[in-house]
Amino acid sequence: MAVTTPKRPVPAAEQQRRMYELMTLMKLTDDRLAKGIGSGEFLSVYWPHRGQEAVAAALGVVLRSTDQLVTTYRGLHDHIGKGVPVEAIIGELLGKETAPGMGKGGTSHLAYPEAGAMLSTGIVGAGLPIAVGLGLAVRQQGLDRVVAVSFGDGATNTGSFHEAMNMAAVLDVPVVFVCQNNLYGEKTPVERTMKVATVAERAAAYGMPGLRVDGNDPDAVFGSLAEAVERTRAGGGPVLVECVTFRFRGHSYGDSQSYMPRERLAAALERDPVPAYRRRLLDMGVCSESELLAVEATAADVVDQAVKKCTDAPEPSTERLLDHRYVDDHNMPA
Amino acid sequence: MAERNMTMREALNLALEQALARDERVFLLGEDIADASGGGILGVTNGLSTKYGEDRVIDTPISEAAITGAAIGAALDGRRPVAEIMMMDFIGIAMDQIVNHAAKMRYMTAGRTTSPITVRAAVVAGMGTGATHSQSLESWFMGVPGIKVVMPSSPADAKGLLTTAIFDDDPVLFLEPVKLLGARGMVPVEEHAIPFGQANTVRIGTDVTIVTYGWGVPMSQAAAAELEAEGISVEILDLRTLLPLDVPAMLEAVNRTRRAVVVTTSVRFGGPSAEIAATLTENLFDRLVAPVARVGAQFTPIPSAPVLEAAHFPDAERIADAVRRTVGVRAGVGG
């Protein structure tokens, strides 16, 4: 199985800095949502991404603004990486009229096509076939766009994964499949749900390259994703990239993680990608302490402002319940 | 508009061809639909890949979820995909994509994203193909807000409704009754579109209204001809689309005839006729002079043996019997 090689693209200092900005924003958003829901300040449901920031930050930096993203219910970090405003995300979580879906979609169904965030799905594996179709549209229109689809390890056990991977390969569409392997599908560890050692090796079954990378190392993820995206953009066909990472807060917010061995979680927290990357940027001299503090203060301010604006925003009017079902409601039932 | 006599198969083919010719965003995808693999198992897409190329008439692996999902993704970026699910029975594989994604996309994003796909599926009833190759499952989709459900009964309607489906901005499930693919009729040669939610009165009558669609229409016409000889005047309303449902047309007709029989080829219990009959009763309780009768398939998996299959599905005789009971005229006595 391929591992990170020196030939892979290396992020420039500006890209490293941007990845840390995004990771910080993702972490603080997750922290704030956990605090808000945990304290009863607001009522919502979400699937925490805390611990998986490195993958989403690298993806966000590697993709162009014109590239498209499909993600899942555990995809708020992917949205932030793709450039969806935090205010739009939190507004949708809180079900506010000002949110992109007016709260009709909710946490797991966010779409923000202005930033190329085309779809989030609440159904494990279901985004992959849709990404194949977005890729088909790219090919039909002769664009140089790449479509990235993000999903978990659990998705790779679904029929949708198999159908989509095979069809992507057969139709030769420009799709990069990004597996955020957080080692748990809901509450069951991957050792109990697949007999192969890696997700990446599944790519071979479709005649597709499969890369595997340390998903807690933003620079390594950047290298693998940049290689995959460049290859795909150049007409090399679809690629699967497995990023091995971890999920700190369980499946959904409030998950007690009773199934999680304490030492496993403790070891994962030791490798928390956000402080680790901070140390690396200091060590490498990419950023000074004061620059990093400024990045963190800015991110905290963005999250605070977003929460304030969203909590102050009006609820959607119940008169709009029937809106947006169809382009035209003529002879449609109520 | 110039018309030509053709089969429903030819009419569907012509609608697809005209859509492909008019709009470069339109493309077809499905199993065995290109000419290299036979031009469609029922011949509906015959000749189209030769004329428009295999980039626009795309043969796919046997992967109903990916066919439908790929259609949704392409539509999300403004394409106009027409996906073929070879037989409606196979739609179970694609159910998540249709129900959880295509149907809900517009609503869940407050209109920011849409899924204007057409899913064509053949309903192979009455041909001995057995329980997994014969079903009329349209009522499954009547419970899913966000989708439109269409089933034509004539070549002209097939062409006009398919054209509307392809260019409609919402996901459309377009059901093709295989029993009628070879049926002939006059069809407008130029592109024409029939609006959804507009039922068609295919026979005018005064004693009873049969509300039906698809394959139920010719069966009801046969029953009506038989009943006419007995002095029973039957009106037939072809719904054409179940979602949207032309409730005003149903109410107008039944308000006049004051009697109604609902005919479907899907199961009677829990089938579309339940919703239709309830709607009629809720709105016209004081006008009805007889309970709304329903004729549908029996509540069994569809048997393969011809005699059992025939017993499962409704037929003209059973429809005529229901009408006679509804108008209070026993067989052989009226007229």
Is pLDDT above 90 for B329? no
Q: Is B192 a catalytic residue?
A: no
Number of domains chain A is built from: 1
In this predicted structure, the answer to whether residue B332 has a pLDDT above a threshold of 50 is: no
The CA-atom distances, in angstroms, between B219 and each of B135, B204, B214, B299, B317 are 17, 16, 10, 20, 9
Strand A147-152, strand A68-72: pairing: parallel
Count Cβ neighbours within 10 Å for each residue of A299-322 and write b for 16 or more, e otherwise.
beebbeebbeebeebeebeeeeee
In this predicted structure, the answer to whether residue B287 has a pLDDT above a threshold of 70 is: yes
| CB-based contact B244 A332, cutoff 8 Å | yes
CA nearest neighbour of B81 among B54, B55, B116: B116
CA distances from A126 to A157, B5, B121, B171 (A): 12, 44, 21, 17
Q: Which CATH number fits the domain that encloses residue A205?
A: 3.40.50.970
Cα distance from B123 to chain A (closest Cα, Å)?
A: 24
Residues whose CB falls within 8 Å of the CB of residue B302, separated by 6 or more in sequence, listed in order: B125, B130, B131, B134, B135, B309, B312, B313
Query: CB within 8 A of B97, min separation 6: which ones?
Result: A126, A129, A130, B65, B68, B69, B72
Q: Which fold has domain B200-327?
A: Rossmann fold (3.40.50)
Is A323 domain-assigned? no
Q: Is the pLDDT of residue B203 over 90?
A: yes
pLDDT at A203 over 60: yes
Cβ neighbours of B90 in A, within 8 Å: none
Query: Residue B334: pLDDT band by 50, 70, 90 thresholds?
Result: very low
Position A204 scores a pLDDT of: 98
Locate A242 and state its tokens. 């497995």
- From the list A111, A131, A331, the residue facing B73 with the nearest CB is A131
DSSP three-state, residue B107 = helix
Q: Are strands B241-243 and B200-203 parallel, antiparallel or unpaired?
A: unpaired
For residue B125, the model assigns a pLDDT of 86
Q: What is the mean pLDDT of residues A272-285?
A: 98
Q: Which residue of A has its CA nearest to B109?
A: A101
Nearest chain A CA: its distance from B43 CA (Å): 23
Decide if A92 contacts A75 (C-beta within 8 A): no
The catalytic position among B101, B133, B192, B312 is B133
pLDDT-based confidence at residue B331 (cuts at 50, 70, 90): very low
Place of tokens 């290689």: A227
> Residue B1 has what pLDDT?
83
Contact B169 A100 (CB under 8 A): no
Confidence of residue B200 (pLDDT cuts 50, 70, 90): very high
The domain in which residue A76 lies consists of: 16-313
How confident is the model over A159-201, as pLDDT tens digits? 999 999 999 999 999 999 999 999 999 999 999 999 999 999 9
Percent of chain A at pLDDT > 90 equals 97
Predicted local confidence at residue A2, as pLDDT? 52
Strands in B80-87's sheet, in edge-to-edge order, are B57-59, B26-30, B80-87, B118-123, B172-177, B148-150, B241-243
Q: Please determine, for residue A227, whether its predicted confidence score (pLDDT) is greater than 80.
A: yes
Asked if pLDDT for residue B333 goes beyond 50, the answer is no
Q: In this model, does residue A5 exceed pLDDT 80?
A: no
Beta carbons of A160 and B66 less than 8 Å apart: yes
Q: Taking CA atoms, what residue in A is nearest to B198?
A: A331
Residue A7 is assigned to a structural domain of this protein: no
What is the architecture of the domain spanning B3-188?
A: 3-Layer(aba) Sandwich (3.40)
| Minimum-distance CB partner of B72 among A130, A331, A333 | A130
Nearest CA in chain A to B143: A333
ipTM for this prediction: 0.96
Domain residue ranges of chain B, discontinuous segments joined by +: 3-188, 200-327
Predicted local confidence at residue A3, as pLDDT:
53
How high is the pLDDT of residue B109? 98
**Cβ–Cβ gap A133/B72 under 8 Å:** yes
Residue B109 sits at the chain A interface (C-beta within 8 Å): yes
Question: With helix as H, strand as E and coil as C, how does chain A read?
Answer: CECCCCCCCCCCHHHHHHHHHHHHHHHHHHHHHHHHHHCCCCCCCCCCCCCCHHHHHHHHHHCCCCCEEEEECCCHHHHHHHCCCHHHHHHHHHCCCCCCCCCCCCHHHCCEHHHCEEEEECCCCCHHHHHHHHHHHHHHHCCCCCEEEEEECHHHHCHHHHHHHHHHHHHCCCEEEEEEECCEECCEEHHHCCCCCCCHHHHHHHCCCEEEEECCCHHHHHHHHHHHHHHHHHHHCCEEEEEECCCCCCCCCCCCCCCCCHHHHHHHHHCCHHHHHHHHHHHHCCCCHHHHHHHHHHHHHHHHHHHHHHHHCCCCCHHHCCCCCCCCCCCCCC
Tell me the average pLDDT of chain B. Answer: 96
pLDDT of residue B330: 46
Average pLDDT, integer, range A219-229: 98
Residue in A70, A96, A108, A132 to test binding to B, most B beta-carbons within 10 Å: A132
Whether B3-188 and B200-327 share one fold: the answer is yes
Please state the rounded mean pLDDT for residues B124-145. 94
B251 three-state secondary structure: helix
* pLDDT value at residue B126: 84
Residue by residue, DSSP assigns B182-229 as T-EEEEESS-----TT--EEEE--SSEEEEE-TTHHHHHHHHHHHHHT
Q: Which of B22, B19, B48, B18 is nearest to B36 (CA)?
A: B48
Task: Taking residues A43-66, report their average pLDDT.
Answer: 97
Measure CB to CB from residue A133 to each of B61, B63, B70 and give the nearest one.
B70
